[in-house]
Structure 1
Amino acid sequence: MSVSSPEANTGKRVRNFLIVLVAIALSVALVLGLRNQTSAVSLTHLDEESVPLEVALSNGKPSLIEFYANWCTSCQAMAPDMAQLKQEYGESVNFVMLNVDNSKWLPEILTYRVDGIPHFVFLNKAGEAIAQSIGEQPRMVMATNLDALVAESPLPYAQRSSGQVSKFTAPVTPADNADDPRLHSSQVVN
């Protein structure tokens, strides 16, 4: 059995103390680094800052409606770009956020046939839907569509579904199924 000298024990303690300090410093740096890398923009914040739908439909400006959910990874990934776009186009375009998990928006979910999110609906100044886009879209595509929306020109990237989509199913179906062409094969003919 070997016995350590007091100097050796002190050296081990100093070494262990330094290892603990370095570990703490690295942990703090990691936490701060991750905090800075995560999006400072949340979907909830975008929703809180968005124009209410009633206002958007009546204020004479074109609008972009985004159907989203907090659990949607594509929606989360687009949040920083959407915040930048709102900053750039907010004076000339209404940005409206509608959470598909809120049953209050069920009539709009059914009207615009939302079955994947993010789902974007572009409305002209009169509040009429002129185009839709489904899925995660590059910032440049959204900016180009917004430029066209403001200029009252055809949207170059409308009706696209090329991006990542989170599937969504409305919790109920329309009351009058006869008007829903997606359900025509389930109608009973006598």
Structure 2
Amino acid sequence: MPKKSFSELINSPGMPVLVDFYADWCGPCKTMAPILQQIAQQHQGKLRVIKIDVDRNQAVAQQFRVQSIPTLILFQNGQPVWRQAGVVPAPQLNQTLQSFVNR
């Protein structure tokens, strides 16, 4: 399967896409990983969760002005509609996502 470009990934028609900008060496990013797995399972079929390694994808990180990691950006129809830097507890993230996922 050919690799999709970042813009193809975030342009899921009708489905919001939560992007986790992370790095393998980042401690808080490791804390965020199981939270994102839980979120992906809870919203399966309604939300897409993708991870972008900032070390391997520096151009994309710069394009969206990611200055600290982890940074989560929620895209709706290719446009950023919400962003948060740092670890976000699952209940808080779930509450934020509800308004976008249940549209």
Match of 1:88 in 2: 42
- 1:109 counterpart = 2:61: yes
- 1:100 counterpart = 2:54: yes
Give CA-to-partner distance per residue, 1:27-66, whole Å, 9 cap, x none. Answer: xxxxxxxxxxxxxxxxxxxxxxxx9742342443111011
Contact 1:67 1:98 in 2 (8 A): yes
* 1:32-181 aligned within 5 A: 53=6, 54-102=8-56, 105-124=57-76, 126-152=77-103
Contact 1:52 1:96 in 2 (8 A): no
Identity rate of aligned residues, in percent?
27
Gaps (5+ residues) in structure 1?
Answer: 1-50, 153-190
Gaps (5+ residues) in structure 2?
Answer: none
Shift of 1:68: 0.3
Larger helix proportion of the pair: 1
Question: Which one-letter code corresponds to 2:16 in the other structure?
Answer: P
Q: Whole-Å Cα distance in 1 between the matches of residues 5 and 39 of structure 2? A: 17
TM-score norm. by structure 1 comes to: 0.48
Contact 1:69 1:117 in 2 (8 A): yes
Distance change >3 Å, CA 86–CA 52, structure 1 → 2: farther
TM-score norm. by structure 2 comes to: 0.85
Contact 1:66 1:120 in 2 (8 A): yes
Question: Which one-letter code corresponds to 1:145 in the other structure?
Answer: T
Moved over 6 A (4+): none
Q: Say what the alpha-carbon RMSD is for the aligned residues.
A: 1.8
What secondary structure, in the 3-state scheme, does the structure 2 residue paired with 1:116 have? coil
Question: Which one-letter code corresponds to 1:111 in the other structure?
Answer: Q
Q: Whole-Å Cα distance in 2 between the matches of residues 85 and 119 of structure 1? A: 15
